[in-house]
Amino acid sequence: MKNIKLLNKIAKVGTDNFDRTMYNVGENVENADAIMVRSASMHEMEFNPELEAIARCGAGVNNIPVEKCAENGIVVFNTPGANANGVKELAVCALILASRDVVGGIKWVETLKDETGVAKLVEKGKGAYVGNELLGKKLGVIGLGAIGGMVANAANALGMNVVGYDPYLTPAAAWNLAPTIKQATGYDEIFKTCDYITLHVPATPTTKNMICKDSISLMKDGVRIINLSRADLVNATDIKEALNDKKVKVYVTDFPTEETVCAPGIVNIPHLGASTYESEDNCAVMAAKQLDEYLKTGNIKNSVNYPNVSLPRKSNARVCVMHKNIPNMLSQITAAFSQVGLNIENLANGSKGDYAYTIAEIEKMDSNAIEAISKVEGVLRVKCYQ
C-alpha cells in the first residue's frame, strides 16, 4: 500500500484515479511515498526517507525545493498545459483591461448609487474611460510554450499583429502556432517594436527582473505590459517609475505584491490564471496519472528535475536508478548485472542537467546486483519493481 499525502485541497476527479486497494490517499497520511501539492510551500519541510515523488498540480514549481529533491532521488512532476486554456482566457481579459479602463469605469459607476438620472450621468462621464481597440496593435509574446502559444493564437484571432520569442521553442510548439505569427530574433526586437508585451516564462535566475529599467528603456512610449507568469519577472520599483513617467501606460499582473497594490497604472488580479474549476480538475487528473504511472512502473513523464524516461513493461523485473549525470555511470550499472549473470532485456536512459535516470529490465531480481548498484558513486536511489 502506497501513501499519497495531499498538501492542499486536490480536486476529487484527480484523486479518484488512485486505486484505493493500492493507495492510501489523504491530507493526514504519514510516511508519504508521494505528495500532491498546489500552492503550499515545501521549502521548510523535512522529507521522510520513503518519499519517492512530488506532483505539483500546476506548471510552476517555485514552492518546491527542486534541487534538494533531485539530490535525494525524489522526482518532481508538474502538469504543463493542463491549465493553459484558463490562463489563455485570462490573458485575453488582461489585454482588454490594459486597453480600456473597465475596472476604473465600474468603480466610478458604483459611486453613482444614490444619484438620480444615472443613465445621463453615465453618458456624460464615460469619456474619462475611453480606451483603445486591440485590432491592428502589435503584441509581443515572450515564451511560446503551452500557454504562450495559445495566447499568441488567440491574439492573432482577435486581429492583433503577433510576434513571439522563445529561445527554447520546440518543433511541436512551433507547429501549433498560427502561420501569420512571426518569430522575433530576440527579446530586444519585442521590446523595441511592440505596443503590448505579455510574459509567459518561468521564474528562473535568468528571467528574474527581465522587465526592468534597462529593458523598459528600449520599449515604445505608452507600452502596455501583462504578466500572468510570476511576480519576479518584473522589477516593481522600475515598473512604477516607468508608469509615473508615462513610458508604460498600464501594467496588468496576476501576482500582486505589497509594492503593486493600489499603485497608479497597475491592475492587480488576485492570481486567477489557473483558478477555474476546469483547470483545477485537469491539473489534478494529470498529476495523479503521472504519479500512478511512476509508482507502478518507474516511468517518468513531465518531471522538472529528472529526464522523461519511459519503457513498456515486458520483463519480470525492473530496476530504476537515479544517478548523477557523470561519465561511466551506465557501464557500472550494466556491469553490476553482468557480474551476477543477469542479461538486461530492455534498457532506457536519459539525462537532464546534472541528473540522469536509467530503467533496466531483467529476468529476475538479484539482491547482490542491487546492492552493487547502490554502492556506485553517484547513484542517488535505486527502485525495484517485480
> Per-residue pLDDT tens for 79-116?
988 989 999 999 999 999 999 999 999 999 999 999 99
CATH class of 1-82+274-305: alpha beta
DSSP 63: T
pLDDT tens digits, 112-160: 999 999 999 999 999 999 999 999 999 999 999 989 999 999 999 999 9
The answer to whether the CB of 323 falls within 8 A of the CB of 51 is: no
CATH architecture observed for domain 306-386: 2-Layer Sandwich (3.30)
The yes-or-no answer to whether 1-82+274-305 and 306-386 have a common fold is no
| Residue carrying the nine cell digits 485590432 | 135
Q: What distance in Å separates the CA atoms of residue 369 and residue 341, rounded to the nearest whole number? A: 10
Residue 284 has pLDDT above 90, yes or no: yes
Residue 236 has pLDDT above 90, yes or no: yes
Domain ranges of the chain: 1-82+274-305, 84-98+132-268, 306-386
pLDDT at 332: 94
DSSP 244: H
* DSSP H or E stretch at residue 239: helix 236-244
Model confidence at 202, in pLDDT bands (50, 70, 90)?
confident
Question: Does 84-98+132-268 carry CATH code 3.50.50.60?
Answer: no
Q: Go through 140-175 and write b for each residue having 16 or more CB atoms within 10 A of its CB, e for each that does not.
A: bbbbbbbbbbbbbbbbbebebbbbbbbeebeeebee
User: pTM value?
Assistant: 0.79
**Contacts for 174 with CB less than 8 Å, ≥ 6 apart:** 144, 183
10 Å CB burial of residue 297 (0-12, 13-18, 19+) is middle
Please state the rounded mean pLDDT for residues 151-172: 96
